[in-house]
Amino acid sequence: MDFNLQKIHQAAIEIARLGGKRTLNYYKKNLEIERKSDQSPVTIADRKTEALMRKGIAARFPDHGIIGEEHGKINPESPVQWILDPIDGTKSFIHGVPFYTTLVGILYENEPVSGVIFAPVLEELCEAARGEGARLNEKTCSVSDCSSLQEATFLTTDVTKASEVDLEKPLKKLIQKSRLHRTWGDAYGHMMVATGRADIMFDPELNIWDAAPLLPILQEAGGIFCDVNGRETIQTGNGISTNRELINEVLAQFQE
């Protein structure tokens, strides 16, 4: 299989826009909300949007694999895997909060090489391909140069989730030691870090479709995306985004 990262990355941007724009058809509408087995919410908007994105990928790259939150896997043996989350931040979406996003990540031979975060209500699209830098709405972006936790803006998605995975103590330390904390969370919080508008984002629980776009975007923005043990991976179920100056101080809160 020929692998052209630039071509595939451009397609990933188009697919993220396609999906994100479709979500606007359902935004601030009275949707029926269902509950998955883990009690997380899902709507027809999630399912219809992912189906549209899958159709767009299959039309361009029929031999590529797809892993999506709502519709499972196809072509799992392919070296190229598209990782989809049609609505990251469904709770925000349901409540009419504009911080939800549409996510596309590309894995090549199990390595994240491309990522797109699109916030359709805000019309903000952050994207990066390996070796090509990161951009917000086509302009180069980078993480902040903050070097002290006491001066940092710290974000997290949900302050209660950390207690369920035994990470409540380090979360409280980060809240107490940082200058400012807010719950501008989900992938939008990681995009805030990649674009220098916040300094640290911590998610105590992540699935592969949540994490896949984050690693290439943060790396190409000059920062780091890693788990609580400092491993730069999307596979361990949690994630920290920050800059290279702060990472050791952040990780120290977990090691203690």
CA-based angle 227:231:235, to the nearest 5? 65
CA nearest neighbour of 216 among 126, 85, 104, 128? 128
Annotate 107-126 with b (16+ C-beta within 10 A) or e (fewer): bbeeebbbbbbbbbbeebbb
Query: Which pLDDT score, from 0 to 100, does residue 38 have?
Result: 67
Query: Which pLDDT score, from 0 to 100, does residue 36 have?
Result: 66
Mean pLDDT of the chain: 95
Query: Which pLDDT score, from 0 to 100, does residue 43 have?
Result: 87
pLDDT tens digit sequence for 167-195? 999 999 999 999 999 999 999 999 999 99
Confidence of residue 61 (pLDDT cuts 50, 70, 90): very high
Structure tokens at 59: 């039309």
Domains of the chain: 5-140 (3.30.540.10), 149-255 (3.40.190.80)
Burial of 131 (0-12, 13-18, 19+ CB in 10 A): exposed
Q: Is the pLDDT of residue 69 over 90?
A: no
Measure the CA–CA gap between 3 and 192, rounded to whole angstroms. Answer: 30
Q: Is the pLDDT of residue 202 over 90?
A: yes
CA nearest neighbour of 121 among 135, 142, 102? 102
Confidence of residue 30 (pLDDT cuts 50, 70, 90): confident
Mean pLDDT on 31-53: 84
CB 21 within 8 A of CB 120: yes
Helices (H), 144-239: 161-164, 168-177, 186-194, 208-211, 214-220
User: What is the share, in percent, of the chain residues with pLDDT greater than 70?
Assistant: 98
